[in-house]
Structure 1
Amino acid sequence: MTTPDTNPGPSTSTSSRRVRANGDGTVYQRKDGRWEAAGYVLAPGGTRKRVRVYGPTRKDALAKLTEKIAASNRGIPAVFAQDSLAAYLTYWLENVAVHHLRETTHTRYTACVQQYIIPGLGKKKLAKLTAKDIRTWLNELRTVCQCCAHGIDAGRNPNAQPSRRPRCCAIGKCCGKRLSPLTLAYIHSVLKSALEHAVREEEISRNVARNVRTGTPRPRRFNPLTTDEARRFLAAARGHRLAALFELALRTGLRKGELLGLRWEDLDLDGGTASIRRTLQRTASRGLATLPTKTISSERRIALPASCVASLRGHRERQAREEDQAGPGWQGSSHVFARPDGHPIEPATLTRHFNLLLRDAHLRPIRFHDLRHSTATLLLEQGVELVVIKELLGHAHIGVTATVYAHVRLRLQRQAIDLLGHALGDRAEGDDGDDPPPCAAPVR
């Protein structure tokens, strides 16, 4: 007779279970085969709510729950699908986007969310937001005057200067100010980015903003300088305190922030090169701050024209004289382009100098950024290859360069076609065929 074991070992099902500490949550397998983990985390408003996450394996579900609990222990509230879109967007800006965006981009995203998305869709539940809601909201933004919608002019002083006095909704005469297609596309892209993160965190099953088409807006028009205007601009800049900056901007296409962020250690005047490593911009939190370049491709090394090397040497001598005159008041920052006391130059101050220079040269008003477009346009018209211009401007992809300057390439194509037609015997009316073929810029 067999004596039963009075101390049976634990069964297979019991041994497979793992004891979890209090507060670590629970994890179990569902009937559909997936694993579900649940636990309490911090929610907006200081309360605690039970969160559920899922995964194909026990390890995956447990890892997701552990990540949320760890974030909760650091004071980061979790957002739930039943929360409002406003609560989710606030969470996304403060805890997600802030770590992945440049500070200036994050500032624009915040303004876009607070000014347009939350007032229009903020009360909607994140889980119940539909493509129809987004389409209706975008149509309203497209047709409603923004002055009337936000009361922009209502708070202005009636006794102020004429340009600052109340108008539009404040006086009952709508100005009809509408958002441009580019602005609408930007607002839509911000919402789409936020909802995409909600999908990755499995708060919602799909990004409904992707089902809404806003159309492809026309690219913003720019006004590059012609060859004659560029010569007049350089002639007017001679003798200006920032002549070296204006010449460098037109001849190399550097951005405003890249020019203002240049330091003397970035320049190799003997070798005729400049290393673009940083940009100077005014931010909301740090004021005038040095930031990384716009993209990884923007961090580059460029060749300096001989005329720029000469003007930079002269600028360095001028800066040394200013430092001697300032004495103890000199605030040395090693910036190539600085104020007479050594402080960095504000981007807005540079814009004012640029506008005054255009007026003195009797040139049409353009943006400072149009100097960059002028560089690329003039180089294309001289037959410089597109890939060389892409490297000089620091574009991330050559498709960006090709798209922005498509109109210039089309003009060069027409010149090439006309040149080919003349070679094949095409003659315009009144052409006796004795004249030499017209000259055209080489196209590569």
Structure 2
Amino acid sequence: MTTPNPTSRRLRANGDGTVYQRKDGRWEAAGYVLAPGSTRKRVSVYGTTRAEALTKLTEKIAASNRGVPVVTAQGSLATYLTYWLENVAVHQLRETTHTRYTAVVHQYLIPGLGRKKLAKLTAKNVRTWLNELRTVCQCCARGIDAGRNPQAQASRRPRCCALGRCCHKRLSPLTLAYIHSVLKSALEHAVREEEIPRNVARNVRIGTPRPRRFNPLTTDEARRFLTAAQGHRHAALFELALRTGLRKGELLGLRWEDLDLNSGTATIRRTLQRTTSRGLATLPTKTISSERRIALPASCITSLRAHRERQAGEQDRAGSEWQGSEHVFTRPDGHPIEPATLTRYFNALLREAYLRPIRFHDLRHSTATLLLEQGVELVVIKELLGHAHIGVTATVYAHVRLRLQRQAIDLLGHALSNLAETTTEPDDGDYPPLRVAPVR
């Protein structure tokens, strides 16, 4: 009868897995861990020593006991980003937003991080790549000017890398923040689908970029703008934009059924934008809060009625060629106005009024700025502009509120200084308060 060898007994309890040395000299540890779908899966880890392999297996089992499923994503980040754009983001984002996300993925994310395995992507990889984007010239990195002809560019002030000199075209902090947010959104969905245990992009801090500077019109410039727009074919549009702060797409998407000129109100239900797939298309408003009802100024009601009479005359002259789109602002043949065409009209009007160049969207900022300077409450401006949260309004126009605070403090200081000058006798509080004699 043989006695059992004490070294052959099991030294690990059930559920702890097994550890053994392979023929190639490496150590392999295997065990069952939690997998997506509330199932269990046998995984193997490797190490140069027994302790190293055992440590890796222990970490996986500990994460499994906490309810974290094992990583199943074995493909590259480029493969996952393509899947995310085509199957997830396309159903959750507006078409224009999806177009911008696609451009970011194909121009920056896939060339920079696409070869990384989704399961092995780390916060250090993301931070290193973002630091490179900050310092690398985009013309040199992407080769966007490599095909240009130096002779053809000689008369256009050459400045690009293909001509022998670097233009140092680096990404702005706002663009870097946008790229980072796209990556975070994609990895967040991978976490929800239990492809990866955590979103490593959230652990990378790139700093808060400065908000984009805008150039609102002053009160005098706004008067000059309205004066120059009086003889324009779309005078009602420009006046409505400045007096109500509607977005360009919201103005172009207005239909006569949205206006109630008798009660002086307008209902914002849709926006008109140029899209890649459908061309000029009617889309929902930017956010749920953007779908709103606003009051129309009396001057806008008058100009809109005059504009409707002018449009009726154009429809009579067009006859059968009129394209009945029911939009408030149309071309002479009834077709909706292209956003780019409206921008050209706006820039020409600025030159005619001898005003500095600004964006059309700055009319919206001008509305909010002028209202704040007139003492209108922030919550009223938020409802008029259709912001989702009042914090958005407060953040965008913080500089205006700071200037108003300065004016209020100066006004109080002026009042206190006048009080000190007019007061000759100190009030020590010994005298009783004055009482008004009753009137019989």
Normalising to structure 1: TM-score of the pair? 0.79
Contact 1:248/1:254, CA 8 A, preserved across alignment: yes
Mapping of residues 12-411 of structure 1, within 5 Å: 35-36=38-39, 81-158=73-150, 160=152, 167-411=159-403
Moved more, 418-427 or 207-216: 418-427
CA–CA distance in 2 between the matches of 1:104 and 1:32?
Answer: 39
CA–CA distance in 1 between the matches of 2:378 and 2:173?
Answer: 29
CA–CA distance in 2 between the matches of 1:321 and 1:161?
Answer: 49
Q: Deviations over 1:63-100 (max 9, x none)?
A: x9xxxxxxxxxxxxxx9511000000000010011111
CA–CA distance in 1 between the matches of 2:282 and 2:155?
Answer: 34
Q: Which residue of 2 aligns with 1:419?
A: 411
Cα offset, 1:224, TM superposition? 0.2
CA–CA distance in 2 between the matches of 1:142 and 1:414?
Answer: 37
Q: Secondary structure at the match of 1:424?
A: helix
CA–CA distance in 1 between the matches of 2:34 and 2:97?
Answer: 43
One-letter code aligned to 2:282: T
CA–CA distance in 2 between the matches of 1:297 and 1:141?
Answer: 35
CA–CA distance in 2 between the matches of 1:225 and 1:319?
Answer: 29
One-letter code aligned to 1:300: R
Q: Secondary structure at the match of 1:175?
A: coil
CA–CA distance in 1 between the matches of 2:33 and 2:289?
Answer: 50
User: Quick one: structure 1 residues 220 and 155, their matched pair in 2 at CA, closer, same or farther if it must change by over 3 Å?
Assistant: same
Contact 2:33/2:40, CA 8 A, preserved across alignment: no
CA–CA distance in 2 between the matches of 1:80 and 1:241?
Answer: 61
Cα offset, 1:159, TM superposition? 6.1
Contact 1:247/1:308, CA 8 A, preserved across alignment: yes
One-letter code aligned to 1:315: H
Q: Secondary structure at the match of 1:274?
A: strand
One-letter code aligned to 2:242: L
One-letter code aligned to 1:131: A
Q: Deviations over 1:367-404 (max 9, x none)?
A: 00000000000000000000000000000000000000
CA–CA distance in 2 between the matches of 1:285 and 1:315?
Answer: 32
Q: Secondary structure at the match of 1:301?
A: strand
Contact 1:156/1:164, CA 8 A, preserved across alignment: no
User: Quick one: structure 1 residues 328 and 211, their matched pair in 2 at CA, closer, same or farther if it must change by over 3 Å?
Assistant: same
One-letter code aligned to 1:137: W
User: CA-atom RMSD, angstroms?
Assistant: 2.7
CA–CA distance in 2 between the matches of 1:162 and 1:281?
Answer: 37
Q: Which residue of 2 aligns with 1:439?
A: none
One-letter code aligned to 1:123: R
Q: Deviations over 1:402-441 (max 9, x none)?
A: 00000000111111111111222269xxx9879xxxxxxx
User: Quick one: structure 1 residues 90 and 256, their matched pair in 2 at CA, closer, same or farther if it must change by over 3 Å?
Assistant: same
User: Quick one: structure 1 residues 89 and 232, their matched pair in 2 at CA, closer, same or farther if it must change by over 3 Å?
Assistant: same
One-letter code aligned to 2:291: E
Q: Sequence identity, in percent? A: 84
- Highest Rg: 1 or 2? 2
One-letter code aligned to 2:39: E
CA–CA distance in 1 between the matches of 2:253 and 2:131?
Answer: 41
Contact 1:224/1:374, CA 8 A, preserved across alignment: yes
Q: Secondary structure at the match of 2:417?
A: coil
CA–CA distance in 2 between the matches of 1:32 and 1:278?
Answer: 47
Cα offset, 1:344, TM superposition? 0.5
One-letter code aligned to 2:237: L
CA–CA distance in 2 between the matches of 1:350 and 1:211?
Answer: 43
Cα offset, 1:192, TM superposition? 0.6
User: Quick one: structure 1 residues 32 and 82, their matched pair in 2 at CA, closer, same or farther if it must change by over 3 Å?
Assistant: closer
CA–CA distance in 2 between the matches of 1:88 and 1:166?
Answer: 39
How many residues in Structure 1 have an aligned counterpart in Structure 2?
Answer: 369
Contact 1:131/1:212, CA 8 A, preserved across alignment: yes
User: Quick one: structure 1 residues 311 and 203, their matched pair in 2 at CA, closer, same or farther if it must change by over 3 Å?
Assistant: same
